[in-house]
Amino acid sequence: MILNWVLPIVYVGYTVWRQWQPRLVTTTYKVDVFALAVGLIIAGTAVQNDWVNPNAAGWLIVGLIAVVSVGLLSIARTLSEEMWVTDDGEVAHHATVGTVVFWVASILLNVESDQLVAHSGAFSLLYLALAAIVQTKLTGWRASAKK
């Protein structure tokens, strides 16, 4: 499906654009939860219809890629963001080039693992939405430590 490739790229493009804008730290998940729901539908449909049928080793690889993408790269993206305390005592932040590089790494890792293991892009949006939610949560924790 073409949506398996287009949706993750559009979603990450929007996410990177949003993160690039200097703004106060907020923990809103509206777009991310919507993307997660769509990702779950795409992945669930693919598994249910046997479009994706990796063996046990394939599922292990999918799980390891999820841990790296959702866990480690989310931490790296959070730490790469520039944060500062405004004159009003609020914490603001924006993405840096490092943040963009880590998002590109996430896309490449997810798309490639889906191609190697599942022969589709069925899990990409799911991975990336989870990664964005985790990054938002970590950014909130990091901002609370700055106050």
Is a pLDDT exceeding 80 seen at residue 91?
yes
Whether pTM exceeds 0.75:
yes
Taking phi over 0 as left and psi of -120 to 50 as alpha, with beta for the rest, 23 belongs to beta
Count of domains forming the chain? 1
User: For the residues 78-103, what does the mean pLDDT come to?
Assistant: 94
> Which structural domain range is residue 93 located in?
3-146
User: For the residues 38-66, what does the mean pLDDT come to?
Assistant: 80
Strand partners, 24: 92
User: For the residues 16-30, what does the mean pLDDT come to?
Assistant: 91
* Helix, strand, or coil (residue 95): coil
Mutual angle of helices 124-146 and 73-80, in 10-degree steps: 40
Is a pLDDT exceeding 70 seen at residue 99?
yes
**What percent of the chain is modeled with pLDDT above 70?**
91
Is a pLDDT exceeding 80 seen at residue 5?
no
